[in-house]
């Protein structure tokens, strides 16, 4: 009887061990599934916070920036001096500034005032308005940001003239062909009242 009892206890112990083993396996599987679900949830949350949803951000990172184009342009420099802007003093070194040549020769010249009516400063660009209307923004390597506010007699087609505070700096820039990022103006401002075309530079 003692042997039968011990045998029965052993069978019970074996069954208990098997049951506990199965329970442990199920627990491990559930833990693994829980971990995987947690990883998926974290990844989905990160995508949503980064604007990964196509419906929320159809253009990706580019939507934060105005659309533009890259053009290879001939880029020259100019300043407010008479040599660059075609003016001289009415009486040799005295008197009011007047245009020294062109259709406006002898007419009063407002030095430093662009054709758009804005005062020329760092970032002022002269361009052909039929190609790049006033208000067009450009990023020029080696110069920086600029906006089209002026025109020039010799500035035609894929050619722009960028403003410098001195003639020395304008000459140092010289003539370069560079890749310029262009963001065109949504509307085309008109020539300022009294504004005139800057004569061809005679550098």
115 and 41 in a common domain: no
Closest to 133 measured CA to CA, from 118, 117, 147, 123:
147
> Which of 118-122's residues contact partners 24+ apart within 8 Å by CB, and which partners?
118/149, 118/192, 120/80, 120/149, 120/150, 120/163, 121/163, 122/163, 122/164, 122/165
Does 93 reside within a domain? Answer: yes
Domain co-membership, 152 together with 106:
yes
Residue 42 has a pLDDT of: 53
Q: Are 86 and 96 in contact (CB under 8 A)?
A: no
Residue 72 has pLDDT above 60, yes or no: yes
Q: Is the pLDDT of residue 146 over 70?
A: yes
pLDDT beyond 50 at 79: yes
Amino acid 126: pLDDT: 97
Alpha helix ranges (H) inside the chain: 2-49, 82-85, 167-173
The predicted model gives 84-89 an average pLDDT of 80
The answer to whether residue 99 is domain-embedded is yes
Q: Please name which of 83, 88, 129, 128 lies closest in space to residue 107, comparing C-alpha atoms.
A: 88
144 and 172 inside one domain: yes
Contacts made by residues 86-90, CB under 8 angstroms, sequence distance 24+: 86/153, 86/198, 86/199, 86/200, 86/201, 86/202, 87/111
**What was the pLDDT predicted at 90?**
76
Structural domains counted in the chain: 2
Query: Rounded to the nearest 5°, which phi and psi values hold at 45?
Result: -65, -40
What is residue 108's predicted lDDT score, i.e. its pLDDT? 79
Residue 46 is predicted with a pLDDT of: 47
Q: What is the mean pLDDT of the chain?
A: 73
Q: What is the pLDDT of residue 171?
A: 96
Q: Which residues pair with 179 in a beta bridge?
A: 72
Q: What is the mean pLDDT of residues 39-65?
A: 41
Quickly state the pLDDT bin for 43 (edges 50, 70, 90).
low
Res 174: pLDDT: 96
**Are 8 and 35 part of one and the same domain?**
yes
Query: Lowest-pLDDT range, 1-5, 10-14, 162-166?
Result: 1-5
Does residue 52 lie within any of the structural domains?
yes
Q: What is the mean pLDDT of residues 162-191?
A: 87
What count of other Cβ atoms lies within 10 Å of the Cβ of residue 194?
Answer: 9
Could you tell me the residue range of the domain that residue 33 belongs to?
Answer: 1-65
* Burial label, 37 (beta-carbon count in 10 A; 0-12, 13-18, 19+): exposed
CA distances from 72 to 40, 66, 123, 128, 158 (A): 47, 19, 18, 15, 8
């Amino acid at each position: 009887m003692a042997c039968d009892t011990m045998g029965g206890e052993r069978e019970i112990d074996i069954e208990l061990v098997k049951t506990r083993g199965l329970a442990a396996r199920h627990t491990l599987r559930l833990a693994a599934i829980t971990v995987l679900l947690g990883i998926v949830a974290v990844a989905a949350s990160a995508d949503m916070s980064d604007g990964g949803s196509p419906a929320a951000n159809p253009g990706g990172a580019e939507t934060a920036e105005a659309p533009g184009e890259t053009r290879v342009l001939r880029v020259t420099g100019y300043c407010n001096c008479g040599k660059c802007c075609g003016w001289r003093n009415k009486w040799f070194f005295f008197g009011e500034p007047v245009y020294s040549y062109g259709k406006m020769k002898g007419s009063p010249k407002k030095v430093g005032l662009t054709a758009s009516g804005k005062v020329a400063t760092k970032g002022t660009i002269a361009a052909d308005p039929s190609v790049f209307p006033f208000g067009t923004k450009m990023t020029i390597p080696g110069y920086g940001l600029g906006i089209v506010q002026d025109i020039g007699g010799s500035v035609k087609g894929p050619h722009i003239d960028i403003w410098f505070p001195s003639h020395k700096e304008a000459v140092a820039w010289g003539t370069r062909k560079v890749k310029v990022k262009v963001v065109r103006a949504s509307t085309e401002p008109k020539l300022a009242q009294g504004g005139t075309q800057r004569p061809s530079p005679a550098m």
